[in-house]
Structure 1
Amino acid sequence: MVDVSHYANHEYKDFINRGILRNMVLPHRTGLGAYAKAQPVDWFYFQAAAIDSQSRDRRTGFDTAFHDEALFLGMWEMGFTPKWATAKGALPGRYRLGWWYDPRSHKVFKDTLDGRLRDEFRGDDVGLYLGIDQMVWKEQDDPKDSQGLGAFGRWGWAHEDINKIDDYWEFGLSYTGLVPTRDQDVTAFAVAQGILSEQYREEVHEDASRETVFEFYYKYFATPWLIISPDFQVVVNPGGDKGAHDSIVGGVRIQVLF
């Protein structure tokens, strides 16, 4: 709904690691809400959403939205969608800026000296994010041909006193039709990093650092209805813990389209 990337948006068709598919500083809530989008011209849009911030898995959306406090997560985003003219046709892009507000109460990161000090809580959390998708090169001048190289990136920031990850960035490349005669196949690579907040490190977990994810996949169209995607990931400091062993993950995603 917000911060949607053309190249890294869904584990069914793009990357698999959540740290690449989602901006990790954004609050991810599932609950009753409302959404609206306005696009006065074809190169600019503005959208907003309000989502029940007290939603629970074992309670209905109407129960928490209308019978508890009126606390709603607010999200706003404006974006530019230019098409840069080149000799081989237009290169589409998507540049987005967003911010959010969460009224829920969060526990402040604080060393309580083994319970001798009281926990502190505060709400009214805010954050910012940026996102960029841009096709940078096309193979053919046919507007219906998608072969070419695309680049994408994300950045996010949140308050360090109540957000475990307060800084996040991502960069990646995606090429459609890199291998000769394989015009639909996609070759993609991305790196993303979630940085744990300085206050969390100082007050709660001194070994906390940052988690870095590298992911590569190749999307092979065996037939129009069968897609096979080998995937390879390297995770450095899993969970942002300097003492954790780095992880190497490999797999194959198989999709059958009906």
Structure 2
Amino acid sequence: MEEIKKMLAQTDDIASGLRLLTEEFPGKVAFSTSFGQEDQVIADIIWRNNLPIRVFTLDTGRLFQETYDLIDLTRARYKQEIEIFFPDTAAVERLVREKGVNSFYDSVENRKECCYVRKVVPLNRALEGVKVWITGLRAEQSDNRLGMEALELDEQRQLLKYNPLIEWTYSDVLAHLDKHNVPYNRLHDKGFISIGCAPCTRAIEPGEHPRAGRWWWETSKKECGLHSHNTQQEQIIQQPEASR
């Protein structure tokens, strides 16, 4: 990994870094998008530079209509394939049958269980055979992400995780979207900065932290288990008892 880090440090821009990874790991590089502003920046860079990188997303079944609209708009704009992974039907049915449709409001444990079923399991399936996982994470998004590096080892999944925007500011993201006329989720214009599932996301008030609108009823660390900050320091969400 250290050698790859050195090589990435010598590249001139994100496109060059992504191209380097595709050359080092041909056919084994994938980008996961949730169609947030950061993810739209990376998708735009991938497709404008014709980079051979798989692009996929997770449909939890609880997304905003505006997110679905953006998926169609993005497809129409770039004429590129976007793989969509869904949660296991039986697992969702069992969760809803045993705990109800909105069990995530009842406890942090229940919310993490829902995230595990609807996000983590499909993500793990999408990343099978992948050597480099590209994300749109930025350090200033949350405390959990402050210590993340551009290139990290995801120890649980045994792959490299590349966060090319980790040092970007929100202003940097907006500037790229504007410069290249990249389509974005119209909920961003209504105060939604970090957008996830519809029942778990609200608009934020002026001055609030960007992730204050995610799982707003909780006071704990607001992550869903997809991303961990150095697995030696922070335990990744494991499969809840109810799902084993």
Confirm or deny a common fold (TM above 0.5). no
**Greater relative CO (CA pairs within 8 A, separation 6+):** 2
What TM-score do the two structures reach when normalised by structure 1? 0.20
The structure that is helix-richer by fraction is 2
Structure number with larger C-alpha Rg: 1
